[in-house]
């Protein structure tokens, strides 16, 4: 993919960071507002897709390597499974941090409508972060590899398929 | 060629008519059949699991095992795409 | 009849996806038709869980007491992610078919060559 025009590049360089912040906000506040790991991870990964579309495919290889993304994705899945295993005292996926008062998201919630406090949720908040890591790295890897596959596929001149 | 295309479209419309006629057997929109499990989830999600978002507590806590399978499916899909495009891509 | 408009929308969306799968000759558009049919199935799941006069099942700054059923929404999340995985693999296979045959027209990809 060749880089797009200067208008597209400048708009992306100014406004792309808001997409990152919004994606991180949706991931972190998954236990208070609608959202969570999967939704916020998809929003976060659109930053990398827009980066490849507007700045060309070479711009991505300089910033993040695919081995780092593979490591992050595997780490996210392992952390999710480990959080389920840690509650094995009673059952698999037992929420052992909810309302226990520990420093890691351990607060308790008053019953009924209220303003949300961030330090609640227990293992749900930690699972949001781990699944968010996995979805971001996975979707970015898929986008990068499918875009770079254009280099190895010969251009047979497919133009204007109507049917 | 035109006759067979007309016949294909007609059979598609017939399928559409059958699907729309089957809507009469559904319950009226807005009245779920049985909601005892969901009423338990709505009533007890804040007291037991300390989350304000009932949907997230169902996805990650009450039904966390399904989410483990779903994360594994996403991981497998990423591995399969990487394996298919391994030949000519470097880095 | 107007009370069940969401179900009519689900049926129309499913038929559009089915038309794309059956009547299009481009491999890419067939893959897109499968995606549209998956979208109609997800819409049907969400529509099934509606309760009249209910708000979203979130307690943060909630304004209504009654809530819609949260379980179909949780199942739809899983279904969307699995649909994404299926679409990614389907499109990768379309790229491989183009690399092998040189064309995307299904009326010219007839024989299964070695």
Any idea what the CATH number is for the domain that residue C92 is in?
A: 1.10.287.3510
Residue C114 lies in a domain: no
Residue C37 lies in a domain: yes
Per-residue pLDDT for chain A (163 aa), expressed as one digit of tens each? 678 889 999 999 999 999 999 999 999 999 899 999 999 999 999 998 998 889 887 777 656 777 889 999 999 999 999 999 988 888 888 888 877 767 777 777 777 788 778 888 888 999 999 999 999 999 999 988 888 776 666 666 665 555 4
First-to-final CA distance of chain C: 54
User: Where is pLDDT greater, at B22 or B68?
Assistant: B68
CA distance C30 to A100: 52
Question: b/e for C56-84, b at 16 or more Cβ within 10 A?
Answer: bbbbbeeeeeebbbbbbbbbbbbbbbbbb
Owning domain of residue C9: 2-101
- Examine residue C110 and state whether it is found in any structural domain, yes or no: no
Q: What is the pLDDT of residue A6?
A: 92
pLDDT tens track, chain C, 114 positions: 567 888 999 999 999 999 999 999 899 999 999 999 999 999 999 998 888 888 889 888 888 888 899 999 999 999 999 999 999 999 999 988 888 888 888 888 876 555
Q: Is residue B10 part of a domain?
A: no
**Is C49 in Cβ contact with B8 (below 8 Å)?**
no
Tokens of A18: 């808001």
Residue B90: per-residue pLDDT: 44
In a domain, B14, yes or no: no
- A112 contact C CB<8A: yes
Cβ neighbours of A38 in C, within 8 Å? 77, 80-81
How many folded domains does chain C comprise?
A: 1
- ipTM of the complex model: 0.84
Residues of chain B with C-beta less than 8 angstroms from the C-beta of C67: 42, 54
Closest residue in chain C to residue A160, using alpha carbons only: C26
Q: Strand, helix or coil at C60?
A: strand
Name the minimum distance, in Å, from the CA of A118 to any CA of chain B. Answer: 10
**Best of A27, A29, A31, A91 to mutate (most B CBs within 10 Å, chain B):** A31
Q: Is residue C113 part of a domain?
A: no
pLDDT the model gives residue A158: 60
Scanning the structure block, which residue is given the tokens 């807005």? Answer: B30
- For residue B47, tell me if it sits in a domain: yes
In contact, A53 and A2? CB cutoff 8 Å: no
Please answer yes or no on whether B23 and C7 come within 8 Å at the CB atom.
yes
Q: SS3 for B89? A: coil
Would residue C13 count as lying in a domain? yes
Taking one residue from A and the other from B, the number of pairs with CB-CB distance under 8 angstroms is 119
CA pair distance B13, B24, nearest whole angstrom: 18
Q: Which chain A residues contact residue B80 at CB under 8 A?
A: none
A146-160, B35-49, B65-79 — which is least confidently predicted?
A: A146-160
Q: How far is C65 from chain B (nearest CA, A)?
A: 11
**In this predicted structure, what is the pLDDT of residue B88?**
55
Helices B2-21, C5-23: axis angle to 10 degrees equals 150
Q: Which residues of C touch B65 (CB under 8 A)?
A: none
Does residue B79 fall inside a structural domain? yes
C9 touches chain B (CB under 8 A): no
- The parent domain of residue B41 ranges over 36-91
pLDDT at B91: 39
Phi, psi at A107, each rounded to 5°: -75, 170
Calpha distance C99→C104 (Å, rounded): 10
Which residues are CB-contacts of B49 (< 8 A; sequence separation ≥ 6)? Answer: A95, A98, A121, A122, A124, B57, B61, B62
Taking CB atoms and an 8 Å limit, are A154 and C102 in contact across chains? yes
Measured between CA atoms, how close is A62 to chain B, in angstroms? 10
Token code pair at residue A13: 């360089």
User: Can you read off the two tokens belonging to residue C113?
Assistant: 């060559």
Q: Which residue has the higher pLDDT, B76 or C61?
A: B76
Separation in Å, CA C114 to CA A41, A81, A155, C93, C97: 40, 41, 22, 16, 12
Query: What is the DSSP annotation of A91-158?
Result: STT--TTTTS--TTT-B---SSSB---TTB-THHHHHHHHHHHHHHHHHHHHHHHHHHGGGTS-----
Contact status of B55 with chain C (Cβ, < 8 Å): yes
Residue B63 lies in a domain: yes
Number of structural domains (chain B) is 1
Question: What number of C-beta contacts closer than 8 Å exist between A and C?
Answer: 51
pLDDT of residue C107: 82
Within-domain flag for C112: no
- Mutation site, B60, B86, B89, interface A, largest A CB count within 10 A: B60
Which whole number is the average pLDDT over B34-48?
88
CA of A114: which chain B residue's CA is closest? B52
- Backbone phi and psi for residue C55, each to the nearest 5 degrees, phi listed first: -105, -175
Tell me if chain C has a CB within 8 Å of the CB of A163.
yes
């Amino acid at each position: 993919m060749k880089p797009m025009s200067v208008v597209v590049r400048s708009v992306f360089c100014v406004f792309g960071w808001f997409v990152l912040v919004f994606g991180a906000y949706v991931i972190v506040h998954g236990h208070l507002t609608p959202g969570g790991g999967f939704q916020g991870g998809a929003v976060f990964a659109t930053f990398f897709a827009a980066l490849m579309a507007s700045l060309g495919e070479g711009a991505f290889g300089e910033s993040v390597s695919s081995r780092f993304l593979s490591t992050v994705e595997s780490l996210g899945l392992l952390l999710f499974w480990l959080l389920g295993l840690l509650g094995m005292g009673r059952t698999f996926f037992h929420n052992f941090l909810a309302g226990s008062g520990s420093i890691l998201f351990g607060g308790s919630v008053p019953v009924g409508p209220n303003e949300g406090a961030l330090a609640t949720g227990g293992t749900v908040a930690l699972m949001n972060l781990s699944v968010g890591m996995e979805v971001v790295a996975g979707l970015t890897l898929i986008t990068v590899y499918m875009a770079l596959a254009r280099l190895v596929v010969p251009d047979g001149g497919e133009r204007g398929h109507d049917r | 060629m035109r006759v067979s295309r007309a016949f294909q479209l007609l059979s598609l419309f017939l399928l559409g008519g059958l699907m729309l006629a089957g809507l009469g057997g559904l319950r009226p929109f807005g009245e779920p059949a049985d909601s005892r499990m969901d009423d338990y989830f709505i009533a007890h999600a804040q007291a037991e699991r300390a989350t304000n978002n009932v949907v997230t507590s169902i996805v990650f806590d009450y039904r966390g095992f399904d989410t483990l399978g779903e994360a594994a499916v996403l991981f497998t899909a990423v591995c399969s795409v990487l394996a298919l495009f391994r030949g000519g891509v470097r880095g | 009849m107007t009370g069940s408009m969401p179900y009519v929308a689900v049926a129309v969306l499913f038929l559009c996806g089915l038309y794309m799968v059956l009547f299009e000759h481009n491999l890419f558009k067939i893959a897109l038709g499968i995606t549209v049919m998956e979208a109609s199935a997800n819409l049907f799941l969400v529509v099934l869980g509606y309760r009249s006069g209910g708000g979203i099942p979130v307690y943060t700054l909630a304004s209504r007491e009654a809530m819609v059923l949260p379980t179909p929404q949780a199942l739809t999340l899983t279904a969307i992610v699995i649909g994404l995985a299926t679409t990614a693999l389907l499109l990768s296979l379309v790229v491989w078919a183009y690399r092998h045959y040189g064309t995307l027209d299904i009326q010219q990809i007839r024989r299964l060559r070695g």
